[in-house]
Amino acid sequence: MIKINQEFSLKTKIICGQGSLKELKKLEGRTAMIVSDKIIEEIGYVETIKGYLTQAGLSSHVFTDVRPDPDTKVLADGLKMLQQVKPDVLIAMGGGSAIDAAKGILYSTYQMLGDSFKKPYFTAIPTTSGTGSEVTDFSVITAEGDKIVLVNEYMAPDLAILDSDCVASVPRKVVIDTGMDVLTHATEAYVANDATDFTDAMVEKTIRLLFENLPLLAEDIGNEQARNHVHNASCMAGIAFTHAGLGINHSLAHAIGGTLHLPHGRCNALLLEEVITFNGDLEKSANNYAAKRYAKLAELLDLPARTVREGLVSYIDAVRKLKEQLAIESGFASLGVYEEVYQTAIEKMAEAAMLDRCTPANPVKPTKEELIKIYKTVY
């Protein structure tokens, strides 16, 4: 049921459109710290940012030691630089890993220094269309091999720059993985316990944009209109889930991705249909709250939904057809994961998923055994 007493706020200012990276010339301050990775640096984006910052009158210090699935060592190294530099502006550019790392560095510094820490103006520039991290107060950090979800409004960026030119050279596989991550964000936020009219509006636009444009973008990254739409959809889904919450799709993906070192978006994609089936109670009544919400998404896509069950099935079929169109594998076995390794890890992964920060927002409270069943089904 949609919450009656609703609260919605958006801390992050959003600037979007091709060429919007030039907005960096308007930033104020004396010193900036740029958090990114080696690939973004090699492409030349770090130098581009430094050039704009120079025009704004800021000197730049660069931290490009971010790796995929940033861990506590990355945070420690970045924290050390942040304390040395004491920047007026913190800029994160890259995929979810770079932005999550910057968030973790910022939050860790605050945890260490408290109110004596002067928070820099935090700007996030995504170079993939997937995580929505540029507008969320979520950060995923790896600690001792496990993915830990941090949630705190202190980490939400002050400014997000959505320049679709920054995703113009993303490989097709990454376009698909990140796009399916967006679809999962939106789908989960729509049925999450804290969904509101405001988050619904974001989700509904996101779903339409994705089904219409993700296949076009996967076919041709040079399609500027599709690229703009998917990039904006990623941000809108981020706004939705940071207010509404996510669910077990992400909990399960965090656990399996951290354990077997698989791409997060691909994990979400392989789990999505089965999670919808579970939440919508398809094997039984198919008439609970989640089923009705999924049926609304089917209606939104002009799919058959004369009954709740029909709408639920229609949405599952739409997800399945989209995955087939994008040539996504049918299960984790197709990713080359050995069955013995997978089966051995299932119980531990299910336990981790039960404890994940995303699980409480799921519309149906799962048991560990039910999560194990989902893992077995999607192998």
Would the pTM of this model clear 0.75, i.e. be above it?
yes
Task: Provide the b/e sequence for 58-81 (b: ≥16 CB within 10 Å).
Answer: bebbbbbbbeebbbeebbeebbeb
Task: Look up the CATH superfamily of 172-377.
Answer: Dehydroquinate synthase-like - alpha domain (1.20.1090.10)
Please give the helix or strand (H or E) that residue 340 lies within, else none: helix 339-355
Query: What's the one-letter identity of residue 67?
Result: R
CATH of 13-167, one of 3.40.190.10, 1.25.60.10, 3.40.50.1970, 2.40.50.140: 3.40.50.1970
Q: Which residue do the tokens 């995955």 mark?
A: 323
Q: Where are the domains of the chain?
A: 13-167, 172-377
- The Cα 178–Cα 235 span in angstroms is 12
CA distance 126 to 100: 11
Helices 197-219, 224-244: axis angle to 10 degrees equals: 150
Walk along the chain (379 residues) and give the pLDDT tens digit of each residue: 666 667 777 889 999 988 999 999 999 999 999 999 999 999 999 999 999 999 999 999 999 999 888 888 989 999 999 999 999 999 999 988 899 999 999 999 998 888 888 999 999 999 999 888 999 888 888 887 777 888 888 999 999 999 999 999 899 999 999 999 999 999 999 999 999 999 999 999 999 999 999 999 999 999 999 999 999 999 999 999 999 999 999 999 999 998 999 999 999 999 999 999 999 999 999 999 999 999 999 999 999 999 999 999 999 999 999 999 999 998 999 999 999 999 999 999 999 999 999 999 999 999 999 999 999 999 9
